[in-house]
Amino acid sequence: MNDSDKFPTAILGASGYIGQHFARLLARHPTFAPPILVGGERSQGQRLEELWQLTEEPPRELARERLRRLSPAQLQRAGVRIVFGAFPSGLAGPVETECRRRGIHVFTNAADHRMDPDVPLLVPEVNAAHLRALTAGSHRRALLVTNPNCTATGLVLALAPVWSLLSPKVVHVTTYQALSGAGLPGIASLSITDNVIPYIPHEEEKVAAESNRILGIVRNGRIVPDRVPFLANCARVAVRDGHLEAVTVEARRHPSVADLRQAWTDFDPLRDLKLPTAPHPPVELRSQPDRPQPSRDRWAGQPERARGMAAVVGRIRWNPPYLRFFVLSHNAVRGGAGESVLNAELADALGLLPRGRTNAS
């Protein structure tokens, strides 16, 4: 596909850590054209390479592009069909609403709209049905789709394959969260060197609310969240990327450990959709006793384009009614930019992004 046949796109907030991962993932995407880079007051006019903070080199296609301060109206006039949202929460909400009003599809990492009743909070392998349900009656409207908090994403990916097998009564989760989860500039080095910070504002509440929403069912075209208590303890550790989580599920049902492993191994609901950024399998099991580890497993995911998109599960211990395991996922890829790109790919595969003219409301 030529770039001219691809969807014109933009990144809202290309100067941030998630924004830069969007740039990396979209520079050579098979169906989304290289994005316009939208920045804020401070970053406008600067080249992407000047702001670059990832350890990988900036993508050559975009490195010398300058960030521009563009309104939704200007994006609409520029023909942008899809925006990927990486503005800070709070700032993001109104801009995303306005983009949508102007017929631009929004796939966003910002938290503002995650709990809106008509907005899917999407992890494609887990709740693609939510996307279908919430878009069933709105053919003419642009989409607004959110991805969850970076901690909730890995957690629900690990839980989804075994959720109905276990029928959880309570989920305990304690986290070892990476520095990049705090964005840029993020955590001061003096605060975290030789240290752990056992507090991340609002994180524990988000994990609980978002996980239940994602694992909820569709009834009468609405999402009915699950109501399992998620008891979270969230802490920051001196790791660059990759959120590790210790999970203990108190279960109502007691399958065999072989059944649990089989459920994880067989899990690949998107297998046939051939989404470019989808990992196969989405959950990788590790048999070594000391895995998953952030430095070794953060880039898990096959094929190449899906690197960093798999959740890695290990140290499974099953003492009914308690199942314990660790899960790791790349917070900025599976738990951020990659997730929203995958969400857009799913929407496209489901025919929700018609290629015709834009649909301003």
Rounded to 5°, the CA angle 263-265-125 comes to: 80
Binding of a second copy at residue 155 (CB under 8 A)?
no
User: Which of the residues 29, 99, 150, 234 is marked catalytic?
Assistant: 150
Contact string (CB under 8 A) for a second copy, positions 267-306, x = contact: ----------------------xxxxxxxx----------
161 vs 165: CA distance, rounded Å: 8
Taking CB under 8 A as the binding criterion, the range among 92-100, 105-113, 121-129, 240-248 that sits at the site for a second copy is 240-248
H helix or E strand, kind and range, residue 285: strand 283-285
Binding of a second copy at residue 174 (CB under 8 A)?
yes
User: Which of the residues 29, 105, 243, 330 is marked catalytic?
Assistant: 243
Taking CB under 8 A as the binding criterion, the range among 25-33, 115-123, 179-187, 265-273 that sits at the site for a second copy is 179-187
In the set 38, 237, 270, 306, which binds a second copy (CB under 8 A)?
237
Contact string (CB under 8 A) for a second copy, positions 44-63, x = contact: ---------x-x-x------
Binding of a second copy at residue 307 (CB under 8 A)?
no
Per-residue tokens: 38: 């939208």
Q: Shortest CA distance to 109 belongs to which of 283, 341, 350, 275?
A: 341
35 vs 3: CA distance, rounded Å: 11
Q: Which is nearer to a second copy, 198 or 351 (CB)?
A: 198
Taking CB under 8 A as the binding criterion, the range among 109-117, 139-147, 176-184, 339-347 that sits at the site for a second copy is 176-184
Interaction with a second copy in 312-341: which residues (CB under 8 A)?
A: 314-315, 319, 322, 324, 326
Q: Give yes or no: 243 in active site.
A: yes
- Sheet-wide strand order for 36-38: 36-38, 9-12, 82-85, 105-108, 144-146
67 vs 54: CA distance, rounded Å: 17
22 vs 339: CA distance, rounded Å: 10
Scanning the structure block, which residue is given the tokens 């301003």? 360
Dihedral over Cα of 37, 42, 45, 51: its sign: negative
- Sheet-wide strand order for 230-233: 230-233, 168-176, 243-251, 322-329, 311-319, 283-285
Minimum Å distance from CB 310 to a second copy?
Answer: 12
Q: Give yes or no: 202 in active site.
A: no
Binding of a second copy at residue 97 (CB under 8 A)?
no
Distance of CA 209 to the CA centre of its chain: 16
Point out which residues bind a second copy (CB under 8 A). 17, 53, 55, 57, 172, 174, 176, 179-180, 184-199, 229, 231, 233, 235, 237-240, 244, 246, 248, 289-296, 314-315, 319, 322, 324, 326
Which amino acids are annotated catalytic?
Answer: 150, 243
